[in-house]
Amino acid sequence: MKRFLILNGPNLNRLGKREPGVYGADGLDVLEAMIRKEAATLGVLVSFLQSNHEGALIEAIHAAHDEALDGIVFNPAAFTHTSVALRDAISSGTVPVVEVHISNVHAREEFRHTTVTGAVSRAVISGLGFEGYLAALRFLAANKS
């Protein structure tokens, strides 16, 4: 069975508590339940990690590479726009990463228009809300390479 890591970065544990106009009214628990349901439909295994710490995210990506997972669905949150270390972690192995943003980062402040991590990801999805995670999982689950 194919195995995927669903990785969420800083402050995404606050989903549903503030800024519903940008990120929706539902929390991370609702997002994870939606992904579990999609994974069951696809017949794949998913594991979840949310961390507010860059190093924990880096180590999770290393572990995914070492365990030869079939893909990572990754919302690096604010680290998207700054983190060369996360970019290097993605590049340090062969597991494909699809970067997901709940909001359309290109329709927001200029500093969100750059994604440091997106350039080394297989694809970037931005602005589909929680549906972006499901689209990323479907894409990775169908991936032949």
Q: Give catalytic residues, as residue numbers.
A: 23, 101
Does position 31 bind ligand CA2 by CB under 6 A?
A: no
The nearer residue to ligand CA2, 15 or 39, going by C-beta atoms, is 15
- Beta carbon of residue 132, minimum distance to ligand CA2 (angstroms, whole number): 8
Does position 134 bind ligand CA2 by CB under 6 A?
A: no
Of 100, 86, 83, which is closest to residue 138 (Cα–Cα)? 100
- Beta carbon of residue 117, minimum distance to ligand CA2 (angstroms, whole number): 10
Q: Would you say 117 and 86 are in contact if contact means Cβ atoms under 8 Å apart?
A: yes
Binding segment (CB under 6 A) for ligand CA2, from list 16-24, 66-74, 89-97, 133-141: 16-24
The nearer residue to ligand CA2, 68 or 78, going by C-beta atoms, is 78
Does position 11 bind ligand CA2 by CB under 6 A?
A: yes
Q: Would you say 11 and 50 are in contact if contact means Cβ atoms under 8 Å apart?
A: no
* Distance separating alpha carbons of residues 8 and 66, to the nearest angstrom: 19
Sites for ligand CA2 among residues 34-93 (CB under 6 A)? 75, 77-78, 80
What tokens does 25 get? 């009214």
What tokens does 86 get? 């996360």
Does position 102 bind ligand CA2 by CB under 6 A?
A: yes
- Pick from 5, 6, 7, 12: which binds ligand CA2 (CB under 6 A)? 12
Which residues, in sequence order, are bridge partners of residue 49? Answer: 7
Q: Would you say 86 and 54 are in contact if contact means Cβ atoms under 8 Å apart?
A: yes
Cα separation values, 100 from 1, 23, 107, Å: 23, 13, 15
Footprint of ligand CA2 on this chain (CB under 6 A)?
11-12, 14-15, 17-19, 23, 75, 77-78, 80, 101-103, 105, 112
